[in-house]
Amino acid sequence: MKSHINYKIFTDKKLVLEYFCGNLSWKDLMENKRKLALEKNYDPTFNIIDDVRDAFIVYSEDDIIKFADLINSTKKLNGNRKTAILTDTPNQLINSITLDTVKHTPFKLKTVSTLEAATKWVNAVSSDFQFIKASLDELKKEAINS
């Protein structure tokens, strides 16, 4: 399955939502982060919810280390923030846990299995839950239609 990654930046909420689907390689992930760093509205202190529930992750521990190195070496990506990785399968879970154990980045990472837990982790107000859910649904729909 072809990979697809898209995101939305919500400056008023200081939040980035990222949606991943298909077979996700580390090159896909790196390209996405480079693209995100070029966005004028992106701020590395914005919290992030990564939804990988529709992705199959095909990168290694060495690739995860390369990813952490990219974050550390790219000023626009290197910020104090919280990131929630929303997972649904053992493949996604183990890769998220591996990132959390090998990373040497300034952000705090938490692997979660529900959107409720993700929104709480990134300090979103409870009234934003439906907004975040609808926004992720929209990102998924865009991916399916692309």
Domain boundaries, the chain: 4-145
Q: Give the tens place of pLDDT for each residue, 60-110.
A: 778 888 887 887 788 888 888 999 999 999 888 888 877 777 767 678 889
Q: Decide: 29 and 67 in contact? Cβ < 8 Å.
A: yes
CATH class of the domain whose range is 4-145? alpha beta
Q: What is the pTM of this model?
A: 0.91
Q: Decide: 95 and 64 in contact? Cβ < 8 Å.
A: yes
Q: Which two tokens stand for residue 133?
A: 């859910």
